[in-house]
Structure 1
Amino acid sequence: MAVQKVFPLSCTVQHYAWGKMGSSSEVARLLASSDPQAQISEDKPYAELWMGSHPRGDAKILDNRISQKTLGQWISENQDCLGSKVKETFNGKLPFLFKVLSVETALSIQAHPNKELAEKLHLQAPQHYPDANHKPEMAIALTSFQGLCGFRPIEEIVTFLTKVPEFQFLIGDNAAAQLKQSSNSDSQSASSALQSCFSHLMKSEKKVVAEQLNLLVKRISQQVAAGNNMEDIYGELLLQLHQQYPGDIGCFAIYFLNLLTLKPGEAMFLEANVPHAYLKGVASRDEECQLSAGHCLSLHTDL
Structure 2
Amino acid sequence: MAVQQVFPLSCAVQHYAWGKMGSNSEVARLLASSDPQARISEDKPYAELWMGSHPRGDAKILDNRISQKTLGQWISENQDCLGSKVKDTFNGKLPFLFKVLSVETALSIQAHPNKELAEKLHLQAPQHYPDANHKPEMAIALTSFQGLCGFRPVEEIVTFLTKVPELRFLIGDNATAQLKGSTSSDSQVAASALQSCFSHLMKSEKNVVVEQLSLLVKRISQQAAAGNNMEDICGELLLQLHQQYPGDIGCFAIYFLNLLTLKPGEAMFLEANVPHAYLKGGGSWPSG
TM-score normalised to the size of structure 1? 0.93
Cα distance in 1 between the residues matched to 2:31 and 2:2: 29
What are the Cα deviations for residues 148-188 of structure 1, in whole angstroms up to 9, with x where unaligned? 00000000000000000001000000000000001111111
* C-alpha separation in 2, matches of 1:138 and 1:189: 30
Secondary structure at 1:23 match in 2: helix
Q: 1:119 deviation in Å?
A: 1.0
Cα shift readout 1:54-112 (whole Å, capped 9, x = no counterpart)? 00000000000000000000000000000000000000000100000000000000000
Residue number in structure 2 paired with 1:77: 77
Q: Kindly state the Cα deviation for residue 132 of structure 1 after the two structures are TM-superposed.
A: 1.3
Cα distance in structure 1, aligned partners of 2:166 and 2:159: 13
Residue 197 of structure 1 and its aligned partner are, at CA, apart by 0.2
Q: 2:53 is paired with a residue of what secondary structure?
A: coil
Displacement of 1:142: 0.4
SS in 1 for 2:49: strand
Question: For 1:141 and 1:187, how far apart are their aligned partners in 2?
Answer: 32
**Match in the other structure for 1:164:** 164
**Helix, strand or coil: the match of 1:139?**
strand
Partner of 2:278: 278
Q: Distance in 2 between matches of 1:181 and 1:91?
A: 50
SS at match of 2:239: helix
Name the SS for the 2:176 alignment partner.
helix
d(CA) in 2 for partners of 1:115, 1:21: 34
- Per-residue deviation at 1:141? 0.2
Alignment partner of 1:64: what SS?
A: coil
How many angstroms apart in 1 are the aligned matches of 2:133 and 2:188?
A: 28
CA deviation map 1:253-282 (0-9, x unaligned):
000000000000000000000000000000
Identity %: 93
**Which residue does the alignment assign to 1:135?**
135
Instruction: Give the whole-Å Cα distance in 2 for the aligned partners of 1:26 and 1:256.
Output: 30
1:5 CA displacement? 0.5
SS state of the match for residue 57, structure 2?
coil
Q: Note the C-alpha offset of 1:131.
A: 1.7
1:1-303 matched pairs, under 5 angstroms: 1-284=1-284
Distance in 1 (alpha carbons) for counterparts of 2:202 and 2:66: 52
Any idea what the Cα deviations from partners look like across 1:101-151, whole Å, max 9, x if unmatched? 000000000000011111111111011111211111000000110000000
When normalised by structure 2's length, the TM-score is: 0.98
State the shift of 1:229 in Å.
0.4
The 3-state SS of whatever aligns with 1:50 is: strand
- Unmatched segments (≥5 aa) in structure 2: none
Task: Single out whichever of 39-48 and 127-136 deviates more from structure 2.
Answer: 127-136
Structure 2 distance, partners of 1:29, 1:133, is: 30
Question: For 1:17-41, what per-residue CA distance to the aligned partner results, in whole angstroms no more than 9, with x for missing partners?
Answer: 0000000000000000111111100
